[in-house]
Structure formats: C-alpha cells, structure tokens
Amino acid sequence: MPHWLLIHSAFLGPASWHGVAAQLQGNGQTAVVPDLRPHALSAAHIAGAAAIAAPGPVAVAVHSAAGALVPALAEELGERLERVVFVDAAMPEPSRSWADRAPSEMVGMLRKRGSLTHAPPWSTWWHAATLEQLLPDATVRARVLSECQPVPWTLLEETVTADQTWLHRPAAYIQLSEAYAAEAELAETLGWPLLRLTSDHLALITDPAAVADVLVSLV
C-alpha cells in the first residue's frame, strides 16, 4: 500500500487532517501530514517539502485550495505518485491563480483586511458564532484556529502550471459540500471515481472517520 500524503489548504494547517490520519493509521495504513505553512511561498516550495515528508509510493489527498498544487506535486513526486484524491478541492486550472478563481467580493475583502504581502488568517474571516457552527467541538476548533496564519499573496496569485501530465495518473473526487458541485461534475466527466458525502466542507475535521473510510475505499 502507498503512504497517504495528506495536503492541507494554505488557509489551514496540518491539524485539519490529523483526525483522518489517525483513522487511517487505525486501519493499518500509513498517513503523513506535513506542516506546509512555512513553505507557502509557492507551489514548488510546498511540493518539495511534501515530497520529502513521505518516502516511497504515495497516494496524495488534497483539500480545498490545495487542489491547485496537484500539478506541482505530480512533477515533484514523479513515479512515486500512485493516485490523487481531491477532497472538496479546487481543480487545477492552467494559467489561473487562486485569486483569479475566487469570488471577487472575497478577494476584495481579503485585500482590505490583509496587508500588501499577506491575506489575513482564515480564522479572522468569520464571526465567532459562525466558527462555532463550522467547528462545533471547542477543543478541535481551538487547535485548528491556532494554526491559521496570514497567507502570502505570492502563493494566492501564482498561476497554475499549464503542464497537464498529472491527468494521466489515477485520480478520484470526494465531494463534501455543494460549493464544490462543479468540480465534482468535472471529475465525473473525466471518468474519475466520484463519491459524495452528505456533509460539509470541513468534514475531514468534523467527521474524520467518514472521510477516512471513503479514502480507504478508493485505494
């Protein structure tokens, strides 16, 4: 079996995958969750750090904005990459950046609240009551929010490489929320296995057992 290499969104930290990793390890699988926040200057930096974190063959699972990193991860991992699973994640769009794809109102809000060099931490985007709804468990919420950091605009404005060779690797999609319905439909048109969970975008945090079970079923 390949190692699971679990890639967190630039807006969150490794704690977002810790519950799933624990469930996978409880099922006898190997799961690695690197802390990629110190390397969030570019997709290449993140991919290099992720490749070092997991030796041998890997099955990569990406969440949310981390989907855009897949081409760089595929280039860095080479033949070690056995499968990619998008978990409510953005599909890479050649020559477009996160800032290009995100709603203009959101980007404007982040530019207003952030600095010239960084977007503000995800934890500051929401009112406290909304965060409690998104992450009901107080202990888990505190752990996840403590990892949120300002995100460099250099990463958010970096265009995805036009190299599409990663599409030749086995891939699958797990849809957690309606917000990623278009991505799930695209995955289906590509002939990928598609699994839908009646859940929410942060189910890997709030319901890690369900997400881990689906990952196992795909590999």
Q: Which of 23-37, 151-165, 177-191 has the lowest mean pLDDT?
A: 151-165
User: What pLDDT, in 10s, does the model give residues 126-165?
Assistant: 999 999 999 999 999 999 999 999 999 999 999 998 778 8
User: What pLDDT, in 10s, does the model give residues 108-137?
Assistant: 999 999 999 999 999 999 999 999 999 999
Closest CA to 173 of 63, 74, 46, 79: 63
User: What pLDDT, in 10s, does the model give residues 31-72?
Assistant: 999 999 999 999 999 999 999 998 899 999 999 999 999 999
Kindly list the structural domains of the chain, giving each domain's residue range(s) and its CATH number in brackets, ordered by start. Answer: 3-97+160-218 (3.40.50.1820)
Q: Rounded distance, CA 44 to CA 189, Å?
A: 28
Greater model confidence, 168 or 203: 203
The answer to whether the CB of 80 falls within 8 A of the CB of 27 is no
Beta-bridge partners for 87? 63, 174
Q: Rounded distance, CA 88 to CA 62, Å?
A: 8
The answer to whether the CB of 33 falls within 8 A of the CB of 99 is no
Answering whether pTM is above 0.75, one says: yes
For the chain, percent of residues with pLDDT exceeding 90: 90
**Section 69-87 average pLDDT:** 95
Tell the burial category of 204 from Cβ atoms under 10 Å away from its Cβ (0-12, 13-18, 19+): buried
For the residues of 147-205, what is the DSSP string, one character each? T---EEHHHHTPPBPS--GGGGS-EEEEE-SGGGHHHHHHHHHTT--EEE-SS-TTHHH
Q: Which of 88-92, 93-97, 210-214 has the lowest mean pLDDT?
A: 93-97
CA 157: distance to chain centroid? 17
CA atoms within 13 A on the CB side of 77: 30
| pLDDT recorded at residue 159 | 94
Q: Rounded distance, CA 149 to CA 84, Å?
A: 26
